[in-house]
Amino acid sequence: MLTGMGITWWHMMKIRKNNVTLQYPEERWPRPERNIGFDFSEYNIIRSRLQVDIDDCIGCMKCERACPVQCIKIQTVKSGARGEDLQDISHTGLTSNGTKKALIVLRFDIDLSECCYCNLCTYPCPEDCIYMTGGPNSNKHPIDYEFSQYDRNELIFKFAKEVEEEKMAKYLPKKEKVEA
């Protein structure tokens, strides 16, 4: 009986600072590495939010296939010439590591309300353009895990570039244009 009381007494007396509660509004995560000694850039990854650099995306849809919950939707269309820059719809022909882009990404939506943050989509991506923000990728995009919305549909992040209809019509495949 008394040993138990002894322990709580000892705990009370020795107020140790390494308790693990995190004062959220002030100490934002990733908190200063108090007790495990790892700076958050040394983390393997941090599962915060998916971010896509659309300029690098060549529309290969590997991430769409890899997603276990099918929460990524991509639509692409063949661009005129391979690797050609199309200024008016701000479509860059070359990716950052020089590969030529043959497809224009019309739509690249990730539904973050359904995403299970398993990070399976970032591995197959040849251009490494889909990644989790922060941690080792913090040079590409600072960490962002505060993206809650009031309406569920706003959680559908649209990464493709917004382009007016008639400008894009020029690049839609010919026969589709005939019927429209």
Partner 1 sequence: MGVVHGDLMTLNIGPQHPSTHGVLRLRVKTDGEIISEVEPVIGYLHRCFEKHCENVTYEQVIPYTDRCDYIAAMNNNFGYAVAVEELMDLHVPDRVEHIRVIVSELNRLASHLLALGTFGLDVGAFTPFLYMFRDRERILDLFEVLCGARLLYNYIWVGGLSHDFPKGFEEKIIDFLDYFEPQLDEYNGILTYNKIFIERTADVGVLPAEVAISYGVTGPNLRGSGVKWDLRKDDTYSIYEQFDFNIPVGTGTVGTVGDCWDRYYVRMLEMTESIKIIRQAVKALPSGDVHQALPKKIRPPKGSVYKRTESPRGDLGYYIESDGSPVPYRLKMRSPAFTALSVMGEIASGWMMSDVLAILGSLDIVLGEIDR
Partner 2 sequence: MSDEQAKLIQEAVAKALAGDMDMINNIEDRVTRSKAKAALVKAKREAKKSSATESEKPTSAPPVKPSAGDEKLSFIDEVVAKALAGDMDAINNIEDRITRSKAKAALVKAKREAKKAAVTSEETPQVESIPAEKSLNQKVAEAIEKKFPSSLTGDDVDGHIQLKGDDWFNIAHYLKDNPDFLFDSLQCITGFDLGLENDLEVRYNLHSMTHNHAIEIRIQTDRKNPKIPSVEQVWRIGDWFERETYDMYGIIFEGHRNMTRILLPDDWEGWPLLKDYEAQETYHGIVVPKVKEGWE
Partner 3 sequence: MTIDQLINWIPFGADWPATTFFIAVLVCALIIFIFIAAYALTAIYGEVKISSFMQDKVGPMGQGVGFHTGKFGLLQPVADALKLLLKEDIIPALADKKLFIMAPFVVFIGAFISFAALPFNQHTIVADLNIGIFYILAVGSLSVIGIILAGWGSNNKWSLYGGMRSAAQIVSYEIPAGLSIVTVIMLTGTLSMQGIIEFQTGTIWGIFPNWIIFNNPFSFIAFFLFFISGVAECNRTPFDIPEAESELVAGAFTEYSGLRYAFFFLSEYAEMFVVSAVATTAFLGGWLSPVSGYFEGPVWGLFWFMGKSLFLVFVMLWFRWTFPRLRVDQLMSVCWKVFLPFTLVNIFGVAIWSLIVG
Pairing of strands 103-111, 72-78: antiparallel
Binding region for partner 2 (CB under 8 A) out of 42-50, 60-68, 150-158, 170-178: 150-158
Minimum CB separation from partner 2 for residue 24, in Å? 30
Q: Confirm or reject binding of residue 45 to partner 1 (CB under 8 A).
A: yes
* Rounded Cα distance, 126 and 104, in Å: 17
Tell which one of 13, 15, 36, 178 touches partner 1 (CB under 8 A).
36
Residue 36 binding target from partner 1, partner 3, partner 2, none, CB below 5 to 8 Å by type: partner 1
Q: Which does 26 bind (CB under 5 to 8 A by kind): partner 2, partner 1, partner 3, none?
A: partner 3
List all residues 6 or more positions away from 125 whose beta carbon is below 8 Å from its beta carbon.
Answer: 62, 63, 131
In 43-162 the beta strands, taken as DSSP E runs, fall at 50-52, 72-78, 103-111, 130-132, 156-158
Which string of x and - marks every residue 13-32 that binds partner 3 (by CB under 8 A)? Answer: --xx--x-x-x-xx------
- Residues 133, 1: Cα–Cα separation, whole Å: 51
Reduced to 3 states (helix: H, G, I; strand: E, B; else coil), residue 62 is: helix
Q: Which stretch binds partner 2 (CB under 8 A): 38-46, 130-138, 152-160, 162-170?
A: 152-160
Residue 152 interacts with, from partner 3, partner 1, partner 2, none (CB under 5-8 Å by kind): partner 2
The residue type of 13 is M
